């Protein structure tokens, strides 16, 4: 089927009683998006963040871009994440997943290693 609408960063899907902002969050794949409900602080994250082994070395994945996406997500107030895989989780686990991923990427020799400069 042909798409009826292409979603872009900043688009708003208005469902009447709820509105979701489209966030372009590449890294897992170039076109990854999430839907963010700012009023309820809920994120429908798709493949961007989930509570399982993160797949960041697939064809089309880009670790430096994934890192930038997580750094962006750390700034969003999120209470609940509805991922595309695994169980729903809350704010504390959301922050923990991102912090652990970013810390792992700061380790010497890690694929996509983040170089911290003073």
For the stretch 83-117, pLDDT in tens is 999 999 999 999 999 999 898 888 777 765 555 44
Which tokens hold the place of 50? Answer: 């989930």
Q: Does residue 62 carry a pLDDT above 90?
A: no
- What's 23-37 look like in SS3? EECCCCCCCCEEEEE
User: Which residues lie below 8 Å from residue 74, measured CB to CB, with a gap of 6+?
Assistant: 95, 98
Q: Where are the beta strands (DSSP E) in the chain?
A: 12-14, 19-24, 33-37, 42-46, 80-83, 89-90
For the stretch 13-48, pLDDT in tens is 999 999 999 999 998 888 899 999 999 999 999 999
User: Domains in the chain, start-ordered, CATH in brackets?
Assistant: 12-105 (3.60.15.10)
């Amino acid at each position: 089927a042909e798409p009826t609408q292409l979603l872009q960063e900043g688009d708003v899907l208005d469902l009447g009683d709820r509105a979701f902002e489209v966030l372009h969050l590449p890294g897992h794949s170039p076109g990854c998006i999430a839907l963010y409900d700012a009023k309820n602080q809920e994120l429908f994250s798709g493949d961007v963040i989930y509570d399982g082994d993160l797949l960041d070395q697939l064809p089309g994945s880009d670790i430096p871009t994934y890192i930038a996406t997580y750094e962006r997500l750390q700034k969003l107030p999120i209470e609940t994440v509805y991922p595309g895989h695994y169980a729903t989780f809350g704010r504390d686990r959301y922050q923990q997943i991102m912090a652990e991923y970013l810390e792992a990427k700061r380790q010497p020799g890690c694929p996509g290693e983040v170089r911290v400069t003073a």
